[in-house]
Amino acid sequence: MSRNRSFLYRFRLPLKLFGVIILTGVCLTGAFYLTKLGPGKVDRGNVYMEFDEVEGNKLLELSQQKEEYFRNRAEQRAPTEEDYAALDEAIKALSDYLDMRGGHHTSTSERREELYALRDNYRGKVLYEESLLLEDQCEGFEESGQFDEALKAISRATFLQRKLNETYDRSPNNDKRRVTRLQRKVDQLTAKPLYEDSVQAEDDAKQALAAEDFDRAKLFYQRAIELQTDLNMRFRGLQFANVQRVTALEQELSSLESSDLYERIGDYRAAAEEAEAKEDYAAAAEAYQNAFRLQRELNREFPQSRFAGALVADELQGLRENALSRNLGDGILEEMQRLDEALRERTAWRAIEIIRALYPKVQQFTEQFPRSTILGEDALLKMQYLSAIEDDIGFLQDRIYGQLLSIEGNEDWRMLRTEVSQALYMSVMLKANPSRHVGDLLPVDSCNWDEAKDFCQRVSWILGHDVRLPNEDEFYAAIGSLRYVNLREVSWNLENADGVTHEIGKLKPNGQGFCDLLGNVAEWLESGALPGEGEAYIGGGSVETPIDILIDVPVEISNRRMRNRFAGFRFVVYLPNL
């Protein structure tokens, strides 16, 4: 037993390999026999050998005879259905021949394709000519106003061309673009009467409105909207489609439906105004409240009405608050007038007393009546500003009045002798300074037109007088004649400024006492006459302007939001009694 185990142990690997070889051979043998059980290979040679050449030739001869028959008839007259039947027999004979040949015979396939094209050519030509004739008839009907007949003719023409394209696609008259063109004509003739009916319904609605038959007017507007909406959905690419017209018609209908509410709102407004004229402000406020309530209802129920609008409701709320706050507001306005009088009289101590008493009232008023327009938009801002500078009011007034000079030919307005300095600008604007070349006595620079106007507004609050930028006439008048003027003595310009701005008032003043009207910094001017909202005049040139240009007193149009390091300003004050 030990010797047998020893033998198997020593030859275990060869025995395993021999077993694997035997198993692989069995598997391959089984696979081979399985393949024999499948379908056998087709012998194409046997099929070809089964072709009956005699029968095939008979089919070819039949096809040739039928084709010649058709061609002879077609040359003499228009083909009949009998002729087409012969051509179809010729095509069928070729198809049968191809079936006998297993479907593969190039010359026969090409000849059959020629016969198909021949058939499509003749049949398609008949349809095409009839379609052309109908298209011509359509134009004649349309010119004579017979639109129904025109629509019938063009619809039939479109049908025939579409049938030709789908049935006889080998025809040279196959034309998909013509179908598109004809269909567009069909759509136009279909849409035109719908559009005309919609326009007529709109006209009828207007006539009903003129006759105050509002119910009929509503019906006509609804009809006009329905027709136009149908046009917009079905004929989007035509000139009769118009989304804006639907919107306009809906607005007219909505306005008509809301007219009762609108009239009631008008009645309440009239009652409110009558109550205000009698100084019965409580009754006026109640009437405005009723009008506001109805306006909100109108806005909610008829948002497309021309009478609807959130701004209208806001206006009514504002009018109501004006009525409620009238007595209190008029009292505050009187106190503000006394404040302006104190400022104009330069009694700063009295102005300060009024400011301290008035500011809390204005603040409370704007909180309680935010929509009231009695005090104006700037009342609270004015009081906040004056309260912030109240201790400097007298000082600023003295500083400004001491620099004002008369303008030749204009006794009502006084102009600042110099350009606005950075020190004055910071005093008025609560230490704000946009300048890039910094210095207390240097002219303020890099200031845009809006900031210059804001500065003038604040100076007007300080003085109690109107303050603004100079206009062109005032600017030219202040400069005066330059005939005998040495510009090197009165202006900082390209030749003497070294490219930087200089302290105000250092050069010789002109004949009226004004300094630096030319050069140093260009000056913003009043620009109300300009059509562009973003434009403003700026004049006088700067340290970068040559003398030969300064002599012509340059005034240019610029962007009012421009921040140029050589742009500043001065101002004028309305003082008619001085």
Residue 577 buriedness (CB in 10 A; 0-12 / 13-18 / 19+): exposed
Q: What pLDDT, on a 0 to 100 scale, did the predictor assign at position 51?
A: 77
| pTM of structure | 0.66
Alpha helices in 389-498 (DSSP H): 393-401, 422-428, 449-463, 472-479, 487-490
Tokens of 223: 């009809």
Report how far residue 399's alpha carbon sits from residue 421's, in angstroms, rounded to the nearest whole number. Answer: 12
pLDDT of residue 19: 65
Give the C-alpha separation, 94 to 119, whole Å: 14
Query: For residue 206, how many other CB atoms are within 10 A of its CB?
Result: 13
How far apart CA 104 and CA 85 sit, in angstroms, is: 26
The closest alpha carbon to 498, from 520, 517, 481, belongs to 520
Contact 288, 323 (CB under 8 A): yes
Give yes or no on whether 193-257 and 259-324 have one common fold.
yes
Q: Which residues contact 543 (CB under 8 A, 6 or more apart)?
A: 492, 493, 494, 497, 498, 499, 500, 501, 502, 519, 520, 521, 566
Packing angle, helices 176-210 and 106-143, rounded to 10: 20
Cβ burial, residue 96 (10 Å; 0-12/13-18/19+)? middle
The whole-number pLDDT of residue 529 equals: 76
Distances in Å between the Cα of 49 and the Cα atoms of 57, 96, 109 are 16, 17, 21
Q: Sketch the domain layout of the chain as residue ranges.
A: 2-31, 52-174, 193-257, 259-324, 327-388, 395-574
Strands 522-524 and 567-568, by their bridges, are: parallel
The torsion region of residue 415 among left (phi > 0), alpha (psi -120 to 50) and beta comes to: beta
Cα separation of 34 and 40, whole Å?
Answer: 13
Structure tokens that stand for 71 in this block: 């061609």
Tell me the C-alpha distance between 569 and 562, whole Å. Answer: 13
Cα–Cα distance measured from residue 499 to residue 305, given in angstroms and rounded to the nearest whole number? 62
- pLDDT score at 45: 42
Q: How many angstroms separate the CA atoms of 263 and 273, rounded?
A: 15
CB atoms within 10 A of CB 221: 26
CATH topology of domain 193-257: Methane Monooxygenase Hydroxylase; Chain G, domain 1 (1.20.58)
Pick the CATH number of 259-324 from 1.10.3470, 1.20.58, 1.10.4100, 3.40.50: 1.20.58
Residue 105's pLDDT is: 86
Q: What is the pLDDT of residue 522?
A: 97
Q: What is the pLDDT along the chain (578 residues), one digit of tens a residue?
A: 444 455 555 566 666 666 667 777 666 766 665 555 545 444 444 444 477 888 989 999 999 999 999 999 999 999 999 999 999 999 999 999 999 988 888 999 999 999 999 999 999 999 999 999 999 999 999 999 899 999 999 999 999 999 999 999 999 999 999 999 999 999 999 999 999 999 999 999 999 999 989 999 999 999 999 999 999 999 998 999 999 999 999 999 999 999 999 999 999 999 999 999 999 999 999 999 999 999 999 999 999 999 999 999 999 999 999 999 999 999 999 999 999 999 999 999 999 999 999 999 999 999 999 999 999 989 999 999 999 999 999 999 999 999 999 999 888 999 999 999 999 999 999 999 999 999 999 999 999 999 999 999 999 999 999 999 999 999 999 999 998 899 999 999 999 999 999 999 999 999 999 999 999 999 999 988 776 788 999 999 999 999 999 999 999 999 999 999 999 999 999 998 76
Residue 231's nearest CA partner among 260, 265, 199, 261 is 199
Per CATH, the number for 395-574 is 3.90.1580.10
Instruction: Give the separation between CA 473 and CA 17, rounded to whole angstroms.
Output: 120
- How far is the C-alpha of 55 from the C-alpha of 287, rounded, in Å? 108
Q: What is the rounded (10 degree) CA torsion for 24, 30, 34, 40? A: 90
The strands making up 467-468's β-sheet, listed across from edge to edge, are: 404-407, 410-416, 572-574, 467-468
- The burial of 45, by beta-carbon neighbours within 10 Å (0-12 exposed, 13-18 middle, 19 or more buried), is given as exposed
Q: Which two tokens stand for residue 131?
A: 């379609």
Q: Are 295 and 312 in contact (CB under 8 A)?
A: yes
Note the helical H segments in 211-242: 214-234
Per-residue pLDDT at 50: 72
12-36 and 2-10 helices, crossing angle to 10°: 60
Q: Which two tokens stand for residue 273?
A: 């105004």
Length of the chain: 578
Contact 322, 275 (CB under 8 A): no
Please provide residue 537's backbone torsions phi and psi, each rounded to the nearest 5 degrees: -80, 145
Task: Name residue, tokens 């118009």.
Answer: 242
Question: What is the 3-state composition of the chain as percent helix, strand, coil, each rounded to the nearest 5?
Answer: 65, 5, 30
Residue 103: phi and psi, rounded to 5, are 85, 5
d(CA 378, CA 203): 50
- Report yes or no: 87 and 119 within 8 Å, Cβ to Cβ: yes
The CA distance from 121 to 482, in Å, is 94
Each residue of 94-132: pLDDT tens digit? 999 999 988 888 999 999 999 999 999 999 999 999 999
pLDDT of residue 385: 97
β-strands 410-416, 404-407 pairing: antiparallel
